[in-house]
Structure 1
Amino acid sequence: MDIGANLKHILEEMTTAAEKAGRPGSAIRLVAVSKYKPALAVTEAAAAGQAIFGENYVQELVAKAAEVTVPVEWHFIGHLQSNKARQIAGLVTMIHSVDRLSLAEEIDRQWGKIGKVCDILVQVNVSGEASKSGTTAAAALTLVKEISQLANVRVRGLMTMPPFFDDPEAARPYFRELRELAATIASEAIPGVAMTELSMGMSGDFKVAIEEGATLVRIGTAIFGDR
Protein backbone atom coordinates (compact mmCIF):
# COMPACT_ATOMS: atom_id res chain seq x y z
CA MET A 1 0.00 0.00 0.00
CA ASP A 2 1.69 3.20 -1.21
CA ILE A 3 -0.16 5.89 0.73
CA GLY A 4 1.84 8.70 -0.87
CA ALA A 5 1.02 7.51 -4.40
CA ASN A 6 -2.64 7.08 -3.49
CA LEU A 7 -2.77 10.61 -2.09
CA LYS A 8 -1.19 12.06 -5.22
CA HIS A 9 -3.72 10.26 -7.40
CA ILE A 10 -6.69 11.41 -5.30
CA LEU A 11 -5.50 15.03 -5.30
CA GLU A 12 -5.11 14.96 -9.07
CA GLU A 13 -8.64 13.59 -9.45
CA MET A 14 -9.97 16.25 -7.06
CA THR A 15 -8.33 19.01 -9.11
CA THR A 16 -9.71 17.59 -12.36
CA ALA A 17 -13.24 17.40 -10.91
CA ALA A 18 -12.96 20.97 -9.59
CA GLU A 19 -11.76 22.35 -12.90
CA LYS A 20 -14.56 20.51 -14.72
CA ALA A 21 -16.97 22.43 -12.50
CA GLY A 22 -15.17 25.72 -13.07
CA ARG A 23 -13.68 25.79 -9.58
CA PRO A 24 -10.02 26.05 -8.54
CA GLY A 25 -8.56 22.86 -7.10
CA SER A 26 -7.52 24.88 -4.04
CA ALA A 27 -11.21 25.35 -3.15
CA ILE A 28 -11.47 21.74 -1.96
CA ARG A 29 -9.64 20.20 0.97
CA LEU A 30 -9.06 16.51 1.51
CA VAL A 31 -9.97 14.95 4.85
CA ALA A 32 -8.10 11.64 5.03
CA VAL A 33 -10.34 9.26 6.98
CA SER A 34 -7.96 7.31 9.18
CA LYS A 35 -10.39 5.31 11.34
CA TYR A 36 -9.20 1.77 12.10
CA LYS A 37 -5.78 2.69 10.69
CA PRO A 38 -2.66 2.88 12.88
CA ALA A 39 -0.87 6.08 13.83
CA LEU A 40 1.94 4.98 11.51
CA ALA A 41 -0.38 5.31 8.49
CA VAL A 42 -1.28 8.85 9.56
CA THR A 43 2.40 9.71 9.95
CA GLU A 44 3.13 8.29 6.50
CA ALA A 45 0.30 10.29 4.93
CA ALA A 46 1.45 13.43 6.73
CA ALA A 47 4.98 12.91 5.38
CA ALA A 48 3.42 12.83 1.90
CA GLY A 49 1.83 16.24 2.54
CA GLN A 50 -1.61 15.36 3.92
CA ALA A 51 -2.70 17.86 6.59
CA ILE A 52 -6.24 16.95 7.73
CA PHE A 53 -7.30 13.62 9.20
CA GLY A 54 -10.85 12.59 10.05
CA GLU A 55 -11.75 10.19 12.85
CA ASN A 56 -15.11 8.64 13.75
CA TYR A 57 -14.57 7.40 17.31
CA VAL A 58 -13.51 9.44 20.33
CA GLN A 59 -11.47 6.74 22.06
CA GLU A 60 -9.57 5.87 18.89
CA LEU A 61 -8.92 9.52 18.06
CA VAL A 62 -7.56 10.36 21.53
CA ALA A 63 -5.23 7.34 21.52
CA LYS A 64 -4.03 7.93 17.96
CA ALA A 65 -3.47 11.67 18.43
CA ALA A 66 -1.20 10.86 21.38
CA GLU A 67 0.91 8.62 19.12
CA VAL A 68 1.15 10.94 16.12
CA THR A 69 3.99 13.34 16.84
CA VAL A 70 4.01 15.25 13.53
CA PRO A 71 1.75 18.33 13.30
CA VAL A 72 -1.62 17.40 11.78
CA GLU A 73 -5.15 18.78 11.95
CA TRP A 74 -7.81 16.48 13.39
CA HIS A 75 -11.48 16.62 12.38
CA PHE A 76 -14.17 14.59 14.10
CA ILE A 77 -16.56 13.19 11.50
CA GLY A 78 -18.53 10.46 13.30
CA HIS A 79 -21.60 10.46 15.51
CA LEU A 80 -20.62 12.25 18.72
CA GLN A 81 -22.20 11.50 22.08
CA SER A 82 -22.56 14.61 24.22
CA ASN A 83 -20.84 12.95 27.19
CA LYS A 84 -17.69 12.39 25.12
CA ALA A 85 -17.29 15.94 23.80
CA ARG A 86 -15.00 16.91 26.68
CA GLN A 87 -12.44 14.28 25.62
CA ILE A 88 -11.80 16.00 22.29
CA ALA A 89 -12.05 19.62 23.47
CA GLY A 90 -9.16 21.53 21.94
CA LEU A 91 -7.92 18.42 20.14
CA VAL A 92 -10.00 18.77 16.98
CA THR A 93 -10.27 21.88 14.83
CA MET A 94 -13.65 20.95 13.36
CA ILE A 95 -16.58 18.67 14.17
CA HIS A 96 -18.54 17.70 11.04
CA SER A 97 -21.40 15.91 12.75
CA VAL A 98 -23.39 18.26 14.99
CA ASP A 99 -27.03 17.28 14.54
CA ARG A 100 -28.79 18.56 17.66
CA LEU A 101 -28.77 21.58 19.95
CA SER A 102 -27.93 19.59 23.10
CA LEU A 103 -24.67 18.43 21.50
CA ALA A 104 -23.79 21.95 20.39
CA GLU A 105 -24.44 23.21 23.93
CA GLU A 106 -22.09 20.58 25.38
CA ILE A 107 -19.37 21.46 22.85
CA ASP A 108 -19.88 25.12 23.77
CA ARG A 109 -19.48 24.24 27.47
CA GLN A 110 -16.34 22.17 27.01
CA TRP A 111 -14.57 24.57 24.64
CA GLY A 112 -15.58 27.45 26.92
CA LYS A 113 -13.67 25.79 29.75
CA ILE A 114 -10.44 26.03 27.73
CA GLY A 115 -11.23 29.46 26.33
CA LYS A 116 -11.47 28.32 22.71
CA VAL A 117 -14.04 28.31 19.94
CA CYS A 118 -14.93 25.11 18.06
CA ASP A 119 -15.72 25.24 14.35
CA ILE A 120 -18.61 22.92 13.55
CA LEU A 121 -20.69 21.73 10.63
CA VAL A 122 -24.36 20.89 11.01
CA GLN A 123 -25.06 17.37 9.78
CA VAL A 124 -28.17 17.12 7.62
CA ASN A 125 -29.82 13.81 6.79
CA VAL A 126 -30.96 14.82 3.29
CA SER A 127 -31.93 11.26 2.38
CA GLY A 128 -34.18 10.77 5.39
CA GLU A 129 -32.68 7.32 6.00
CA ALA A 130 -33.43 6.07 9.51
CA SER A 131 -29.93 4.55 9.76
CA LYS A 132 -28.21 7.93 9.35
CA SER A 133 -27.69 10.70 11.87
CA GLY A 134 -28.46 14.31 11.07
CA THR A 135 -31.15 16.92 11.45
CA THR A 136 -33.77 17.18 8.73
CA ALA A 137 -33.44 19.67 5.91
CA ALA A 138 -36.62 21.33 7.19
CA ALA A 139 -35.21 21.79 10.71
CA ALA A 140 -31.67 22.81 9.72
CA LEU A 141 -32.23 26.57 9.58
CA THR A 142 -33.80 26.67 13.04
CA LEU A 143 -30.98 24.55 14.47
CA VAL A 144 -28.32 26.82 12.93
CA LYS A 145 -30.05 29.89 14.40
CA GLU A 146 -30.13 28.26 17.85
CA ILE A 147 -26.46 27.23 17.69
CA SER A 148 -25.46 30.74 16.56
CA GLN A 149 -26.36 31.99 20.05
CA LEU A 150 -23.53 29.93 21.62
CA ALA A 151 -20.32 31.85 22.30
CA ASN A 152 -17.80 29.01 21.90
CA VAL A 153 -19.22 27.30 18.81
CA ARG A 154 -18.99 28.67 15.28
CA VAL A 155 -21.11 27.22 12.45
CA ARG A 156 -19.02 27.05 9.27
CA GLY A 157 -21.32 25.03 7.00
CA LEU A 158 -23.09 21.71 6.50
CA MET A 159 -22.29 18.01 6.15
CA THR A 160 -24.22 15.10 4.69
CA MET A 161 -23.95 11.42 3.78
CA PRO A 162 -26.14 10.32 0.87
CA PRO A 163 -27.40 6.75 0.52
CA PHE A 164 -24.87 4.28 -0.88
CA PHE A 165 -25.12 3.82 -4.64
CA ASP A 166 -23.02 1.80 -7.07
CA ASP A 167 -23.42 4.70 -9.51
CA PRO A 168 -22.02 7.95 -8.07
CA GLU A 169 -24.36 9.97 -10.29
CA ALA A 170 -27.26 8.73 -8.16
CA ALA A 171 -25.82 10.68 -5.21
CA ARG A 172 -25.81 13.97 -7.13
CA PRO A 173 -29.34 15.13 -6.14
CA TYR A 174 -28.46 14.76 -2.45
CA PHE A 175 -25.26 16.80 -2.82
CA ARG A 176 -27.17 19.44 -4.78
CA GLU A 177 -29.85 19.60 -2.10
CA LEU A 178 -27.22 20.26 0.59
CA ARG A 179 -25.66 23.04 -1.52
CA GLU A 180 -29.08 24.64 -2.06
CA LEU A 181 -29.88 24.35 1.65
CA ALA A 182 -26.58 26.06 2.52
CA ALA A 183 -27.44 28.90 0.12
CA THR A 184 -30.85 29.30 1.75
CA ILE A 185 -29.27 29.47 5.22
CA ALA A 186 -26.57 31.86 4.00
CA SER A 187 -29.26 34.19 2.63
CA GLU A 188 -30.56 34.63 6.19
CA ALA A 189 -27.28 36.40 7.11
CA ILE A 190 -27.27 34.98 10.64
CA PRO A 191 -24.61 36.77 12.74
CA GLY A 192 -21.54 34.61 13.37
CA VAL A 193 -22.66 31.92 10.90
CA ALA A 194 -20.85 31.13 7.66
CA MET A 195 -21.90 28.63 5.00
CA THR A 196 -18.42 28.37 3.52
CA GLU A 197 -17.90 24.63 4.06
CA LEU A 198 -19.78 21.70 2.52
CA SER A 199 -18.47 18.36 3.77
CA MET A 200 -19.73 15.75 1.32
CA GLY A 201 -18.35 13.03 -0.89
CA MET A 202 -16.33 9.91 -0.06
CA SER A 203 -14.09 7.48 -1.95
CA GLY A 204 -16.83 6.35 -4.35
CA ASP A 205 -18.55 9.64 -5.16
CA PHE A 206 -16.23 12.54 -4.31
CA LYS A 207 -15.92 13.74 -7.91
CA VAL A 208 -19.67 14.25 -8.19
CA ALA A 209 -19.67 15.94 -4.75
CA ILE A 210 -16.97 18.37 -5.90
CA GLU A 211 -18.96 19.17 -9.04
CA GLU A 212 -21.90 20.00 -6.75
CA GLY A 213 -19.90 22.29 -4.46
CA ALA A 214 -18.09 20.21 -1.84
CA THR A 215 -15.27 22.03 -0.05
CA LEU A 216 -14.29 19.08 2.17
CA VAL A 217 -14.24 15.50 0.88
CA ARG A 218 -13.84 12.61 3.30
CA ILE A 219 -11.77 9.82 1.76
CA GLY A 220 -10.38 6.77 3.52
CA THR A 221 -10.37 3.55 1.50
CA ALA A 222 -8.88 5.10 -1.64
CA ILE A 223 -5.94 6.38 0.43
CA PHE A 224 -5.37 3.73 3.10
CA GLY A 225 -6.95 0.65 1.52
CA ASP A 226 -9.78 -1.47 2.88
CA ARG A 227 -10.38 -1.46 6.62
Structure 2
Amino acid sequence: MISKNCQQIETVIAEQVEASGRSLEEVTCVAVTKMRSLEEVAELYQQGYRHFAENRPEGLKEKQAAFPHSDIHWHYIGSLQTRKVKQVINEIAFFHALDRESLAKEIEKRANHTVSCFVQVNVTGETSKQGVSPCDLMPFIESLGAYSKISVVGLMTMAPIDATEDELRTCFQTLKQLQTSIAKQQYPHAPCLETSMGMSNDYPIALQEGATFIRIGSAFFE
Protein backbone atom coordinates (compact mmCIF):
# COMPACT_ATOMS: atom_id res chain seq x y z
CA MET A 1 0.00 0.00 0.00
CA ILE A 2 2.76 2.46 0.92
CA SER A 3 4.52 1.76 -2.37
CA LYS A 4 1.35 2.48 -4.34
CA ASN A 5 0.68 5.65 -2.34
CA CYS A 6 4.24 6.84 -2.96
CA GLN A 7 3.76 6.41 -6.70
CA GLN A 8 0.49 8.37 -6.61
CA ILE A 9 2.01 11.18 -4.55
CA GLU A 10 5.07 11.41 -6.77
CA THR A 11 2.86 11.57 -9.86
CA VAL A 12 0.83 14.42 -8.39
CA ILE A 13 3.96 16.31 -7.33
CA ALA A 14 5.49 15.94 -10.80
CA GLU A 15 2.30 17.13 -12.50
CA GLN A 16 1.86 20.17 -10.28
CA VAL A 17 5.53 21.18 -10.34
CA GLU A 18 5.66 20.91 -14.12
CA ALA A 19 2.43 22.91 -14.46
CA SER A 20 3.92 25.68 -12.32
CA GLY A 21 7.00 25.86 -14.54
CA ARG A 22 9.43 24.63 -11.93
CA SER A 23 11.74 21.62 -11.65
CA LEU A 24 11.38 18.75 -9.19
CA GLU A 25 14.72 19.75 -7.62
CA GLU A 26 12.99 22.85 -6.26
CA VAL A 27 10.55 20.84 -4.15
CA THR A 28 11.28 18.77 -1.04
CA CYS A 29 8.73 16.23 0.11
CA VAL A 30 8.99 15.72 3.86
CA ALA A 31 7.48 12.46 5.13
CA VAL A 32 5.71 13.08 8.43
CA THR A 33 6.32 9.90 10.42
CA LYS A 34 4.89 10.90 13.81
CA MET A 35 3.00 8.01 15.43
CA ARG A 36 4.08 5.69 12.61
CA SER A 37 5.84 2.36 13.09
CA LEU A 38 9.48 1.73 12.39
CA GLU A 39 8.42 -0.72 9.68
CA GLU A 40 6.48 2.01 7.90
CA VAL A 41 9.43 4.38 8.08
CA ALA A 42 11.70 1.64 6.74
CA GLU A 43 9.43 1.18 3.74
CA LEU A 44 9.47 4.91 2.98
CA TYR A 45 13.27 4.84 3.19
CA GLN A 46 13.32 1.91 0.78
CA GLN A 47 11.11 3.95 -1.56
CA GLY A 48 13.79 6.62 -1.65
CA TYR A 49 12.58 9.18 0.89
CA ARG A 50 15.28 10.91 2.90
CA HIS A 51 13.43 13.76 4.65
CA PHE A 52 11.46 12.71 7.74
CA ALA A 53 9.58 14.81 10.30
CA GLU A 54 8.61 14.24 13.92
CA ASN A 55 6.74 16.44 16.38
CA ARG A 56 7.82 15.00 19.73
CA PRO A 57 11.34 14.63 21.14
CA GLU A 58 10.56 11.04 22.13
CA GLY A 59 9.45 10.11 18.63
CA LEU A 60 12.49 11.78 17.10
CA LYS A 61 14.83 9.92 19.42
CA GLU A 62 13.20 6.56 18.69
CA LYS A 63 13.30 6.99 14.92
CA GLN A 64 16.87 8.27 14.86
CA ALA A 65 18.04 5.34 16.97
CA ALA A 66 16.42 2.94 14.51
CA PHE A 67 17.63 4.80 11.43
CA PRO A 68 21.10 6.23 12.10
CA HIS A 69 21.70 6.65 8.36
CA SER A 70 23.83 9.65 7.47
CA ASP A 71 21.75 10.45 4.38
CA ILE A 72 18.54 11.16 6.34
CA HIS A 73 17.51 14.78 6.98
CA TRP A 74 15.41 15.07 10.14
CA HIS A 75 12.80 17.80 10.51
CA TYR A 76 10.99 18.94 13.63
CA ILE A 77 7.46 20.18 13.02
CA GLY A 78 4.85 21.47 15.43
CA SER A 79 5.19 23.50 18.57
CA LEU A 80 8.37 23.11 20.60
CA GLN A 81 8.44 24.04 24.28
CA THR A 82 11.49 26.00 25.30
CA ARG A 83 12.33 23.43 27.98
CA LYS A 84 12.58 20.73 25.30
CA VAL A 85 14.80 22.64 22.87
CA LYS A 86 17.95 21.00 24.23
CA GLN A 87 16.55 17.54 23.43
CA VAL A 88 15.91 18.39 19.78
CA ILE A 89 17.85 21.24 18.31
CA ASN A 90 21.20 19.51 17.68
CA GLU A 91 19.52 16.42 16.22
CA ILE A 92 17.69 18.02 13.29
CA ALA A 93 18.40 19.61 9.93
CA PHE A 94 15.28 21.82 9.81
CA PHE A 95 12.97 23.34 12.41
CA HIS A 96 9.56 24.34 11.04
CA ALA A 97 7.95 26.21 13.92
CA LEU A 98 9.96 29.20 15.11
CA ASP A 99 7.26 31.55 16.36
CA ARG A 100 8.53 33.56 19.35
CA GLU A 101 11.65 35.25 20.60
CA SER A 102 11.86 33.18 23.80
CA LEU A 103 12.27 30.12 21.58
CA ALA A 104 14.94 31.88 19.52
CA LYS A 105 16.85 32.70 22.71
CA GLU A 106 16.78 29.07 23.82
CA ILE A 107 17.91 27.84 20.40
CA GLU A 108 20.80 30.31 20.54
CA LYS A 109 21.72 28.97 23.97
CA ARG A 110 21.50 25.26 23.14
CA ALA A 111 22.49 24.89 19.47
CA ASN A 112 26.04 23.90 18.56
CA HIS A 113 25.55 24.83 14.90
CA THR A 114 23.48 27.20 12.79
CA VAL A 115 19.93 25.83 12.61
CA SER A 116 17.86 26.14 9.43
CA CYS A 117 14.53 27.50 10.66
CA PHE A 118 11.16 28.24 9.15
CA VAL A 119 9.24 31.02 10.88
CA GLN A 120 5.68 29.87 11.46
CA VAL A 121 3.08 32.39 10.27
CA ASN A 122 -0.57 32.32 11.34
CA VAL A 123 -1.82 33.57 7.99
CA THR A 124 -5.52 33.06 8.68
CA GLY A 125 -5.55 34.40 12.24
CA GLU A 126 -7.08 31.25 13.71
CA THR A 127 -6.96 31.36 17.50
CA SER A 128 -6.33 27.61 17.59
CA LYS A 129 -3.10 27.96 15.63
CA GLN A 130 0.26 29.26 16.73
CA GLY A 131 2.46 31.48 14.64
CA VAL A 132 3.45 35.07 14.05
CA SER A 133 0.76 37.31 12.60
CA PRO A 134 1.53 38.77 9.15
CA CYS A 135 1.60 42.30 10.55
CA ASP A 136 4.22 41.32 13.15
CA LEU A 137 6.30 39.21 10.80
CA MET A 138 8.84 41.72 9.49
CA PRO A 139 9.79 43.08 12.94
CA PHE A 140 10.13 39.50 14.20
CA ILE A 141 12.36 38.54 11.26
CA GLU A 142 14.52 41.61 11.90
CA SER A 143 14.83 40.75 15.61
CA LEU A 144 16.21 37.31 14.75
CA GLY A 145 19.34 38.97 13.40
CA ALA A 146 20.57 39.04 17.00
CA TYR A 147 20.87 35.25 17.08
CA SER A 148 23.91 33.80 15.35
CA LYS A 149 22.65 30.19 15.54
CA ILE A 150 19.46 30.89 13.56
CA SER A 151 19.16 31.05 9.78
CA VAL A 152 15.64 31.80 8.56
CA VAL A 153 15.48 29.68 5.42
CA GLY A 154 11.78 30.31 4.87
CA LEU A 155 8.25 30.62 6.18
CA MET A 156 5.78 27.93 7.23
CA THR A 157 2.02 27.93 7.58
CA MET A 158 -0.82 25.49 8.17
CA ALA A 159 -4.08 26.05 6.32
CA PRO A 160 -7.44 25.45 8.03
CA ILE A 161 -8.45 21.79 7.78
CA ASP A 162 -11.97 22.64 6.54
CA ALA A 163 -10.91 25.41 4.15
CA THR A 164 -12.43 25.72 0.69
CA GLU A 165 -10.15 25.71 -2.34
CA ASP A 166 -10.39 29.49 -2.58
CA GLU A 167 -9.47 29.83 1.10
CA LEU A 168 -6.53 27.47 0.64
CA ARG A 169 -5.25 29.46 -2.31
CA THR A 170 -5.55 32.74 -0.42
CA CYS A 171 -3.66 31.25 2.53
CA PHE A 172 -0.82 29.88 0.41
CA GLN A 173 -0.64 32.94 -1.83
CA THR A 174 -0.33 35.16 1.23
CA LEU A 175 2.53 33.13 2.66
CA LYS A 176 4.30 33.17 -0.70
CA GLN A 177 3.94 36.96 -0.91
CA LEU A 178 5.30 37.36 2.62
CA GLN A 179 8.24 35.06 1.83
CA THR A 180 9.06 37.02 -1.32
CA SER A 181 8.91 40.36 0.47
CA ILE A 182 11.35 39.15 3.14
CA ALA A 183 13.71 37.61 0.59
CA LYS A 184 13.91 40.97 -1.18
CA GLN A 185 15.35 42.51 2.00
CA GLN A 186 18.42 40.26 1.63
CA TYR A 187 18.97 39.89 5.34
CA PRO A 188 22.17 37.88 5.96
CA HIS A 189 20.43 35.91 8.72
CA ALA A 190 17.20 35.42 6.78
CA PRO A 191 17.61 34.46 3.12
CA CYS A 192 14.00 33.22 3.33
CA LEU A 193 13.87 31.50 -0.04
CA GLU A 194 11.57 28.61 0.96
CA THR A 195 7.91 28.07 1.76
CA SER A 196 6.86 25.11 3.90
CA MET A 197 3.16 24.70 3.18
CA GLY A 198 0.82 21.94 2.12
CA MET A 199 -0.08 18.66 3.80
CA SER A 200 -1.80 15.44 2.75
CA ASN A 201 -5.17 17.04 2.04
CA ASP A 202 -4.00 20.21 0.27
CA TYR A 203 -0.45 19.75 -1.06
CA PRO A 204 -1.45 19.88 -4.77
CA ILE A 205 -2.83 23.39 -4.28
CA ALA A 206 0.18 24.39 -2.18
CA LEU A 207 2.48 23.28 -4.99
CA GLN A 208 0.47 25.30 -7.50
CA GLU A 209 0.96 28.35 -5.26
CA GLY A 210 4.73 27.95 -4.93
CA ALA A 211 5.43 25.56 -2.04
CA THR A 212 9.03 24.37 -1.91
CA PHE A 213 8.62 22.08 1.11
CA ILE A 214 5.48 19.97 1.54
CA ARG A 215 4.76 17.92 4.67
CA ILE A 216 2.91 14.69 3.88
CA GLY A 217 1.83 12.13 6.45
CA SER A 218 -1.45 10.25 6.17
CA ALA A 219 -1.44 10.15 2.35
CA PHE A 220 1.51 7.74 2.53
CA PHE A 221 -0.21 5.32 4.85
CA GLU A 222 -3.96 5.32 4.16
Q: 2:3 maps to which residue?
A: 4
Aligned pairs for 1:13-24 (under 5 A) are 13-24=12-23
Q: For residues 180 and 73 of structure 2, what CA distance do their matches in structure 1 show?
A: 27
1:132-156 per-position Cα deviation (integer Å, ceiling 9, x unaligned): 0101011111111111221111110
Q: 1:196 maps to which residue?
A: 193
1:37-70 per-position Cα deviation (integer Å, ceiling 9, x unaligned): 0122112101110010111112221122212243
* Secondary structure of residue in 1 paired with 2:154: strand
Of 147, 158, 167, 1:150 maps to 147
* Secondary structure of residue in 2 paired with 1:11: helix
Q: 2:209 maps to which residue?
A: 212
Q: For residues 199 and 31 of structure 1, what CA distance do their matches in structure 2 show?
A: 10
Q: 2:28 maps to which residue?
A: 29
The alignment covers a number of residue pairs equal to 221
1:169 Cα offset (Å)? 4.2
Aligned identity (percent) is 34
Q: 1:103 maps to which residue?
A: 103
* Secondary structure of residue in 1 paired with 2:53: strand
* RMSD (Å) for aligned C-alpha atoms: 1.3
Q: Which runs of 5+ in 1 are unaligned?
A: none
Q: 1:163 maps to which residue?
A: 160
* Secondary structure of residue in 1 paired with 2:31: strand
Q: For residues 166 and 180 of structure 1, what CA distance do their matches in structure 2 show?
A: 19
Q: For residues 147 and 98 of structure 1, what CA distance do their matches in structure 2 show?
A: 10
Q: For residues 185 and 73 of structure 2, what CA distance do their matches in structure 1 show?
A: 31
1:166 Cα offset (Å)? 6.0
1:179 Cα offset (Å)? 0.5
Task: Tell me the amino acid that sits aligned with residue 161 of structure 1.
Answer: M
Native 8 Å contact 1:82 1:103 kept in 2: yes
Q: For residues 7 and 35 of structure 1, what CA distance do their matches in structure 2 show?
A: 17
Of 131, 135, 141, 1:134 maps to 131
Q: 1:181 maps to which residue?
A: 178
Counterpart check, 1:67 vs 2:84: no
Q: For residues 169 and 210 of structure 1, what CA distance do their matches in structure 2 show?
A: 14
* Secondary structure of residue in 2 paired with 1:89: helix
1:2-44 per-position Cα deviation (integer Å, ceiling 9, x unaligned): 2222122211111101111111122111000111101221121
Q: Which moved more, 1:129-138 or 1:183-192?
A: 183-192
Q: Which runs of 5+ in 2 are unaligned?
A: none
Q: 2:117 maps to which residue?
A: 120
Task: Tell me the amino acid that sits aligned with residue 26 of structure 2.
Answer: A
Q: 2:219 maps to which residue?
A: 222
Q: 1:49 maps to which residue?
A: 48
* Secondary structure of residue in 1 paired with 2:91: coil
